[in-house]
Amino acid sequence: MAYVHAAKHPFASVVGQEVFQSGVIPSDTDFRIYRDFGNIPGIDLAFIENGFLYHTKYDTSDRILTDSIQRAGDNILAVLKHLVMSEELADSSEYRHGNMVFFDLLGMVVVAYPARVGTIINYMTAMATFLYLFRKCSHPSNVGGRYVKELAYATAVVILSWLVTLLTVLIIALVVSLTGRSMFWYNDFYTCIFMYGSAATGTMVLIHTLAKNLYYGSKDI
């Protein structure tokens, strides 16, 4: 929690951590050794700028951006000062919360809470959703199950758009790989956004537009 309270430039995501720990990304850091074999808690810091240099002969310390080093230094110094002045070091067991859900808001502040609280929030959200849907389905305006049919159709369209979008992106990746330039976009964030982001967005818009025209005809919604 020291990072949550003290980091000057917080950047953290539980989603990123879980993806990294799942093994989907073929990468590792020295921190895992301390965590898995020493049971030592800590913070795993990694630089992601210029990631295309990772594990190549160009992967040298002088290629780490000065701004990145400064921000990391600011965070580490602030966290260490917080720990030194904090009562958490006296008996850290009192401050253990187990697995945490955490994410930053635009790099300004970190929101963090125990996973059990996240489970409660998820159940409450699901319950509220089901109650809302039940109310809509039981409303007098739902003649002949009209709302249920539209809800089922909308859900199917959303799932279909996801699948088609995934297929589209995979096809683009396959074509790029066959040309022998599978990673050419890695050194330019905007190239990645243009190549994959625009294709994904365009595909989803196309699917939803076709579904609208098919279901509603010429009517506006």
Q: Which tens digit of pLDDT belongs to each residue from 66-90?
A: 888 888 889 889 888 888 887 777 6
CA distance 204 to 208: 6
At residue 151 the predicted structure's pLDDT band, cuts being 50, 70 and 90, is confident
pLDDT in tens, 88-97: 776 666 666 6
The stretch 109-125 carries a mean pLDDT of 90
The stretch 42-65 carries a mean pLDDT of 78
Contacts of 51 (CB under 8 A, 6+ apart): 186
What was the pLDDT predicted at 177?
86
Bigger pLDDT: 34 vs 48 = 34
Tell me what the pLDDT averaged over the chain comes to: 82
What was the pLDDT predicted at 221?
47
CA 30: distance to chain centroid?
A: 23
pTM beyond 0.75, yes or no? no
Q: Using alpha carbons only, give the angle 171, 173, 175 rounded to the nearest 5 degrees.
A: 70
CA 173: distance to chain centroid?
A: 21
**Residue of 78, 96, 76 whose CA lies nearest to 88:** 96
What was the pLDDT predicted at 128?
96
CA distance 127 to 119: 12
Bigger pLDDT: 94 vs 47 = 47
What was the pLDDT predicted at 220?
52
At residue 184 the predicted structure's pLDDT band, cuts being 50, 70 and 90, is confident
Does residue 167 register a pLDDT over 80?
yes
- The listed range with the strongest mean pLDDT (37-51, 55-69, 159-173) is 159-173
At residue 124 the predicted structure's pLDDT band, cuts being 50, 70 and 90, is very high
What was the pLDDT predicted at 169?
92
In this prediction, what percent of the chain has a pLDDT beyond 70? 90
Does residue 103 register a pLDDT over 60?
yes
Cβ 206 vs Cβ 152: under 8 Å: no
| Residue given tokens 């995501």 in the structure block | 13
- The listed range with the strongest mean pLDDT (58-67, 175-184, 199-208) is 199-208
What was the pLDDT predicted at 144?
67
Identity of the residue numbered 189: F
CA atoms within 13 A on the CB side of 204: 13
